[in-house]
């Protein structure tokens, strides 16, 4: 049986599009107050209006989570304005693919900054609040959901640095899970396969073409498919921890 999330507060990073946006909507529909963090605040304002129109509570936070102070600020504003933090969805990320040989170093730096450091900054700031929420009503359990990727399981030519960042997310999540699970903070890893979002649009044109060809014959996942998996994780009763979900389009072999 799924629990509802009434009386709880969630922070979703990268809520301005794709998986983060769908997740924020799903969490709000299940009763959580939702803090929405990203850089494109116009998109967050639209999403907040939609959540409020459906009777939910939303807080818009402009934050570049690659900046430690802004990441910490997003967590602190969530707690200051919504009262607590029960659920952190570390979703903000970038995927910049292409051969490693001759790649622009700035792309590697951007991925490490957002996929690894951004996630770590948010996690560091959130942990004391998650631990506190796990000791209190209404649920006496708290969740950190880290969005990795199939790329966090399987490395591929043309994806080496994205693979490195997402494998890093997996390692951090498992180490942290073991550390805090006894205190009822559940750390979960979600590993999506090809999902129709804006993610690939930040690549150079020739790389976008390679990605397009790879997925041309595949019926890709929708952001809502991943949001449903996240909702499943965070609505389990207190004694159930879903550690990991790997979810691919059926036609995606690897």
Ligand X SMILES: NC(=O)c1ccc[n+]([C@@H]2O[C@H](COP(=O)([O-])OP(=O)(O)OC[C@H]3O[C@@H](n4cnc5c(N)ncnc54)[C@H](OP(=O)(O)O)[C@@H]3O)[C@@H](O)[C@H]2O)c1
What SS3 class is residue 211? helix
What is the DSSP secondary-structure string of 170-186? HHHHHHHHHHHGGGTEE
Q: Which residues of 26-58 are buried (b: 16+ CB within 10 A; e: fewer)?
A: bbbbbbbbbbbbbeebebbeebbeebeeeebeb
For ligand X, the closer of residues 166 and 184 by Cβ is 166
For ligand X, the closer of residues 29 and 41 by Cβ is 41
Residue 175, exposed/middle/buried by CB under 10 A (0-12, 13-18, 19+)? exposed
Q: Confirm whether 232 is a catalytic residue.
A: no
Residue 228 CB, shortest distance to ligand X, in Å, is 14
For ligand X, the closer of residues 73 and 192 by Cβ is 192
Residue 40 CB, shortest distance to ligand X, in Å, is 3
Residue 7 CB, shortest distance to ligand X, in Å, is 26
For ligand X, the closer of residues 66 and 184 by Cβ is 66
Residue 139 CB, shortest distance to ligand X, in Å, is 25
Residue 245 CB, shortest distance to ligand X, in Å, is 12
Could you list the residues that contact ligand X (CB under 6 A)?
13-14, 16-20, 38-40, 63-66, 91-95, 114, 118, 147, 149, 192, 194-195, 197-199, 223
d(CA 207, CA 41): 28
Residue whose pair of structure tokens reads 């976008």 in the numeric block: 208
d(CA 119, CA 112): 10
d(CA 218, CA 238): 37
Cβ 12 vs Cβ 44: under 8 Å: no
Cα first-last separation, the chain: 32
| Catalytic option among 121, 162, 232, 239 | 162
For 37, the enclosing helix (H) or strand (E) is strand 33-38
For ligand X, the closer of residues 147 and 189 by Cβ is 147
Question: What is the set of active-site residues?
Answer: 162
């Amino acid at each position: 049986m799924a629990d509802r999330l009434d009386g709880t507060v969630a922070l979703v990073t990268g809520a301005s599009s794709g998986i983060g946006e769908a997740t924020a909507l799903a969490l709000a529909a299940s009763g959580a107050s939702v803090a929405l963090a990203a850089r494109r605040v116009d998109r967050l304002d639209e999403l907040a209006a939609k959540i409020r129109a459906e009777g939910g509570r939303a807080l818009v936070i402009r934050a570049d989570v690659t900046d430690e102070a802004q990441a910490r600020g997003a967590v602190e504003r969530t707690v200051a304005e919504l009262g607590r933090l029960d659920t952190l969805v570390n979703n903000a990320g970038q995927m910049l693919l292409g051969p490693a040989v001759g790649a622009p170093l700035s792309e590697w730096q951007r991925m490490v900054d957002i996929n690894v450091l951004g996630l770590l900054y948010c996690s560091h700031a959130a942990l004391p609040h998650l631990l506190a929420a796990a000791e209190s009503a209404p649920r006496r359990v708290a969740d950190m959901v880290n969005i990795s990727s199939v790329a966090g399981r399987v490395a591929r030519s043309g994806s080496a640095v994205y693979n490195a960042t997402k494998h890093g997310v997996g390692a951090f999540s498992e180490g942290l899970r073991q550390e805090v699970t006894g205190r009822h903070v559940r750390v979960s890893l979600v590993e999506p396969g090809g999902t129709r979002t804006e993610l690939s649009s930040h690549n150079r044109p020739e790389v976008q073409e390679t990605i397009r060809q790879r997925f041309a014959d595949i019926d890709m996942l929708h952001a809502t498919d991943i949001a449903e998996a996240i909702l499943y994780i965070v609505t389990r009763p207190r004694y159930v921890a879903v550690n990991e979900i790997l979810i691919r389009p059926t036609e995606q072999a690897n």
